Amino acid sequence: MAETKLLEIKNLKKYFPIRQGFFRRTVGNVRAVDDVSFFINAGETLGLVGESGCGKTTASRCILRAFPPSSPTASANANDFSRPVRIAQSAHDLV
């Protein structure tokens, strides 16, 4: 039986700018998530595990589109995740 991919993430990246000075110029980036790839087949469960501060929540928020990823390459059932969507206003909107 062929496995059906429900979610596929390829090379997910999220960088936050470092700003300094009066004009708040960008002088660098913090790499919160850098080159994360995985897929979930139908009937599977994925656990995102890591040390404190390693980017688990940032990766999850990029997948849910609460944060815009720096390089969006995600798809779910042939739907492109690079399109902007309405951001959830509360935790109840995410369920």
Residue whose tokens read 């390829």: 10
Share of the chain above pLDDT 70, in %: 73
Residue 44 lies in a domain: yes
The answer to whether 38 and 59 are in contact (CB under 8 A) is no
Residue 37 lies in a domain: yes
| Residues of the chain under the 70 pLDDT cut | 1-2, 72-95
Q: CB burial class (10 A; 0-12, 13-18, 19+) of residue 59?
A: buried
Q: How many domains is the chain partitioned into structurally? A: 1
Helix, strand, or coil (residue 65): coil
H/E element holding 92?
helix 91-94
Residue 87 lies in a domain: no
Residue 92 lies in a domain: no
Residue 20 lies in a domain: yes
Q: What is the pLDDT of residue 23?
A: 92
Write down the pTM of the prediction: 0.70
Parent domain of 16:
8-77
Q: What is the pLDDT of residue 32?
A: 92
Residue 90 lies in a domain: no
